[in-house]
Structure formats: C-alpha cells, structure tokens
Amino acid sequence: MVCDANFHIFQRVFQCIAHETENTNLAGYTSFCIMRGLFEIYVTNGNINMYSASDLKKGLKIEIDGDPCMITNFEFSKPGKGQALYRCKIKNLITGNQFDKTYRSVEKVNRCALISRDFTFSYIDVDNYVFSDNETYEEAILNQELLGDLKNFIVDDMQVEILFHNDRALDITLPNFVEMVIAETEPGARGDTTTNVMKPAKLDNGYEINVPIFINEGDTIRIDTRTGTYADRVSKG
C-alpha cells in the first residue's frame, strides 16, 4: 500500500525526472510518462480498494491475505490518552475460521469484491455439481462439501445464485422452496391434516425429513431450502 505521504514524495521525484529528461532524451521521457501514468493508476486503485479502519463495522466484508472475510463483531476502543483502536471479530468466509484482529486508525483494510451471478443447474459429475451461467453459459463447478445439505434440494434446471470472490465460488442461494417426492415413509393416518404430529420420511436421494403423519409415499411436498424442513403438501402421489 502506498500511503499519501509517500505518494507526494514520488510525485516530487517524477517532477524532477520530467524536468531533467524532457529536452534531452525524448525516448526516455516518453517511457517515463507511461510509467508515471501506470503508477498513478496503481495508487488511485490502491486507495479506492481499501477501507480506512474507521470505516469498519459489523457485517462488512473485507479481504485478508487474499481470503474473503466478514466482520462479525466490532468495538471502538480508545485507551486513556492512546490511539483509537478498532477491535474486530472476523470470520474467514472460505475456511469458516473465526479470529480477533485489532486495527489502528492509520491502518487500511482491503475491500472484498463479491459478485453474485445467476446460474442454471446442469448435471452432477461424481462429487461435483455443475451449473451454467445464464448469460455466458460458462460453467461453475461446486463441490458437494461446499453445498452441504443444500445438495439434496437441487433439481433439474433449478435457478440458483452463486456468490463469487475472484472467480472462486463461495456460496450458493437456492430458491426458497423446492418440490420433492417422498420415496419412503410409514403409511400415515388418513384424513388427519390438522395435528402437528410428525414422522420420519426419506426423499429418493436419501435425505431424511420429518413430515406430518398424513403424508404417504409418492406424495409431492414443498421443502423450505433455508431450513431443510417440510413446508406443505403439493399433491398426493
């Protein structure tokens, strides 16, 4: 990171070189101007891609050592006559590790560029789920470990949103509800659609779910993908 004070020193140096080379060495002067332009772009981008420590707050996403992270807790602290300190609890969004970090007010923190894109589910390739970008048809491959329980609710042609950090898929959002067929369950008590009594059932992918006792094998139910629980019955099998 180039701090403002250094930037002014660099500018001074550039002025001197420009003055010295302008009339004596045209080729040198030209390449120098290109270098100065690139430097200024670097400095400008450097600044817009950073937060000041005083910009930090709970919920903000930042980048540490190349990994996307989120501030899960934030506390302003200023001891005695000392400097302002920004004490953060941070979660690494890739590894899930939580750690504490204290920033001084002069410190800068990298911004985290997260992009969300729309995809359609295509097919399963062993442990990987393959999706295709709705606009570019580019493929995104998500390992089933990243999907966790959500993998059970992915159906053909499902529309999903995938969150990327520097082309690395971080998270997936499914539609809130998905319709699935009950593959296996004990026959239930007929007609009783009012009680809250639940019983275990299985989907054809093996996912176990609690359903009301009136649900039978072959019934289509709606599942809330956010909680992985039964929502309602769509139709009888």
Partner 1 sequence: MTADSIKLRDVLMRDIRTFFYERGYTEVETPIRLKIPCMELHIDAEPSGDHFLRTSPEMFHKRLLAVGHEKIFEIGKCFRSGEFGPLHHPEYTMLEWYQANADYMDILEETKALISNVWKESFRDWKILPVSQVFREFAGWDPVGNFDEDRFDIDLVEKVEPAIRKIGGPVVLKDYPVEAAALSRRKKDNSQLAERWELYFDGVEIANAYSELTDPVEQRTRFEECAAQRIALGKQAYEIDDTFVQALENMPPSGGVALGVDRLLMLISGQSSLDPLLPFR
Q: How far is the CB of 138 from partner 1 (least distance, A)?
A: 44
Q: How far is the CB of 15 from partner 1 (least distance, A)?
A: 22
- List 59, 82, 191, 206, residue binding partner 1 (CB under 8 A): 82
In the complex with partner 1, the residue whose CB is nearer, 61 or 108, is 108
Give the residue among 76, 78, 68, 74 at the shortest CA–CA distance from 88: 74
Tokens representing residue 33 in the block: 């101007």
- List 59, 79, 191, 206, residue binding partner 1 (CB under 8 A): 79
Are residues 25 and 78 in contact, defined by beta-carbon separation less than 8 angstroms?
A: no
* Spatial distance between the Cα atoms of 218 and 215, rounded to a whole number of angstroms: 9
Give the residue among 87, 97, 65, 89 at the shortest CA–CA distance from 165: 65
Question: Applying CB under 8 A, does 55 fall inside the site for partner 1?
Answer: no
- List 53, 70, 84, 114, residue binding partner 1 (CB under 8 A): 84
Question: Applying CB under 8 A, does 53 fall inside the site for partner 1?
Answer: no
Q: In what order do the strands lie in the sheet with 198-203?
A: 208-212, 198-203, 177-185, 220-224, 229-235
| SS3 of the chain: helix, strand, coil, percent, to 5 | 25, 45, 35
Question: Applying CB under 8 A, does 85 fall inside the site for partner 1?
Answer: yes
Are residues 78 and 85 in contact, defined by beta-carbon separation less than 8 angstroms?
A: yes
- List 6, 45, 102, 235, residue binding partner 1 (CB under 8 A): 102
* Spatial distance between the Cα atoms of 151 and 137, rounded to a whole number of angstroms: 21
Q: How far is the CB of 83 from partner 1 (least distance, A)?
A: 5
Question: Applying CB under 8 A, does 104 fall inside the site for partner 1?
Answer: yes
Give the residue among 108, 45, 105, 111 at the shortest CA–CA distance from 79: 105
Q: How far is the CB of 230 from partner 1 (least distance, A)?
A: 41
Burial class of residue 114, CB neighbours in 10 A (0-12, 13-18, 19+): middle
Q: How far is the CB of 109 from partner 1 (least distance, A)?
A: 16
Question: Applying CB under 8 A, does 190 fall inside the site for partner 1?
Answer: no
- List 8, 57, 58, 78, residue binding partner 1 (CB under 8 A): 78
Q: How far is the CB of 4 from partner 1 (least distance, A)?
A: 7
- List 77, 159, 195, 229, residue binding partner 1 (CB under 8 A): 77
- List 76, 99, 123, 137, residue binding partner 1 (CB under 8 A): 76
Residue 221 CB-half CA count within 13 A: 28
Q: How far is the CB of 235 from partner 1 (least distance, A)?
A: 53
The binding site for partner 1 (CB under 8 A) comprises 4-5, 54, 75-85, 87, 100, 102, 104, 106
